[in-house]
Structure 1
Amino acid sequence: MSVRPSPLGILGGTFDPVHYGHLRPAVELLEQLHLGEMRLVPGRIPPHRPPPRVGPERRLAVLREAVRDLPGLRVDDRELHRDGPSFTVDTLRALRKEEGERPLCFALGSDAFLGLPKWHRWRELITFAHLVVMERPGHATSPGGEFGQWVATRRALRVTELRERPAGRILFVPVTQLDISATGVRRLLARGESARCLMPEPAWRLVAGRGWYGYPQV
């Protein structure tokens, strides 16, 4: 009997710029779900939010600096090489083709999850991957109506269920959610103030030294 490889985690975003509010939940999921690795996938053109403030090459460079010393976290830049909006369904389909029967776990925040019915071809997502909903501790996500019924029939109650099949389950996981936002980081940098300790030091040195979000800090 063959043994499935450890699940692969996927966390998307604009990472404009990346900060510990992105990275801490990613590390927690890596450990709690016993993932083989967590892929951070920066999007080129987000379908549901304003365009990023800086270009893809700079965001990618900062993200790579940020995860350089974080074992288990890896950057996947496939969406930056794809024209048009960065639809998650296209990314998950490509990963499924590459990874075969390996379990895939696509992570998203609770607010994004509640807005899932507005996503492009959202019903197909779960055919390619499990959905892992990151919740604030003590704040359960409660979708209602037809969407709530759809969720209830696919809900996983145990982490081990994600290893039993390649895709198809929805697991809700409490994670630490730090009160840090990319908007707040950009505002600090635009005023010439330090964003040190809001992101890994190598990432901060890159954006501060180059002045990509404001004034150089040298």
Structure 2
Amino acid sequence: MREVREIIVASKRHTLALFGGTFDPIHLGHLRMALELRQVLEFDEMRLLPSHQPAHRQTPGVSSRQRSEMLALALEGCEELTLDERELLRGGATYTVDTLEELRSELGGEASISFCMGLDSLLSLHRWHRWERLLELAHLVVVTRPGWHLPDRDSEEHGPLAELLENHRGTVADLHTRACGCLLLREQTMLPISATQIRELIKSGQSPRYLLPATVLQYIEDHRLYTEVASGDPQ
């Protein structure tokens, strides 16, 4: 680890990490994962990116503005994590490649950009819009659970992903010495919390307390979100 830190110090390359999602709603599992990645991988910045209209999953039942407001509440007092609303402001379907192109244009070619995702997202990466372009713009940091398995090279569906891993597998030092192009696998024990679980608890009249920040729970209760009578405007 000392050698890695020496490389990081010598490179002096600004490192930005992005953690995207619907955050419907934001919960402690999201927050803990983002904070741990920032600290362990020593990123200069970690931004949370709420998506507007996710292209690969059902549109959330509450508005993008409400999801962003809950995220802002969750991040109050945490200087290590920040909110980036660019995907909400851009509107339309949310494509990660568009966000990375926008950021690369803003930051130039020298900054290191890392897009963080879970293993489930990696396994569907070949269905993302212009997915081959992603590593030309950023690194991909894939958070895996203990006991995970790499995509099978002989699989018709996952073969391209196995090849991607073989050709672009990187190290922590690469995130600090290169601007883009590496795929890092990071095994991490994640809190067993899901947004789906929280929504189902609320819908059934049970409390999700201690699964998400108290300020977020208060917001949900004040706006009657995730109940059958709730009507967040899904923009």
TM-score scaled to structure 1, two decimals? 0.92
Residue deviations 1:186-216 (CA, integer Å, cap 9, x gap)? 1111233211110111111111232122289
Once the two structures are TM-superposed, the CA of residue 2 in structure 1 deviates from its matched residue by: 7.6
Partners of 1:143 and 1:98 in 2: how far apart?
37
Matched residue, 2:57: 49
Structure 2: runs of 5 or more not aligned = 1-9, 154-158, 231-235
Instruction: List per-residue Cα deviations over 1:148-188 (Å, max 9, x = no partner).
Output: 122211101x2111111110000000122222111111111
Partner amino acid, structure 2, of 1:131? L
SS of 2:54's equivalent in the other structure is coil
1:153 aligns with 2:167: yes
Identity percentage of aligned residues: 41
Amino acid at match of 1:190: K
**Equivalences for 1:3-22 in 2 at 5 Å?**
3-5=12-14, 7-22=15-30
> Who is 1:92 aligned against?
100
- Show the 5 A alignment for 1:68-147: 68-100=76-108, 101-144=110-153, 145-147=159-161
Distance in 2, matches of 1:127 and 1:138, equals 29
Contact 2:26 2:195 in 1 (8 A): yes
Q: Is the 8 A contact 1:21 1:178 kept in 2?
A: yes
**Superposition deviation, residue 4 in structure 1:** 1.4
Question: Which residue among 172, 177, 189 is the counterpart of 2:202?
Answer: 189
| Equivalent residues of 1:110, 1:141 under 8 A apart | no
Whichever residue aligns with residue 147 of structure 1, its letter is L
2:35 to 27, 36, 42: 27
Alpha-carbon deviation of 1:143?
4.7
Tell me, yes or no, if the aligned pair for 1:135 and 1:141 is still in contact at 8 Å. Answer: no
Distance 1:12 1:138, change over 3 A: same
Q: In structure 2, what residue type is equivalent to 1:163?
A: H
Deviation string 1:86-106 (CA, Å, 9 cap, x unpaired) is: 000000111111122110110
Give per-residue Cα distances to partners, 1:56-86, cap 9 Å, x unaligned: 1111100100111223111111111223210
Is the CA contact 1:189–1:208 (under 8 Å) kept in the aligned structure 2?
A: no
**Alpha-carbon separation, structure 2, partners of 1:2 and 1:9:** 17
Deviates most, 187-196 or 21-30: 187-196
Q: Which amino acid aligns with 1:20?
A: L
Q: Is the 8 A contact 2:138 2:180 kept in 1?
A: yes
TM-score (norm 2): 0.86
Structure 1: gaps of 5 or more residues: none
Match of 1:67 in 2: 75
Take 1:190 and 1:30, find their aligned partners in 2: how far apart are those partners?
33
Partner-residue secondary structure (3-state), 1:153: helix
Q: Which of 215, 222, 229 is residue 209 of structure 1 equivalent to? A: 222
Q: Distance in 1 between matches of 2:212 and 2:76?
A: 12
State how many pairs are aligned: 214
Distance in 2 of aligned mates of 1:13 and 1:2? 30
CA distance, structure 2, for counterparts of residue 175 and residue 2 of structure 1: 26
Distance 1:141 1:28 in 2: 23
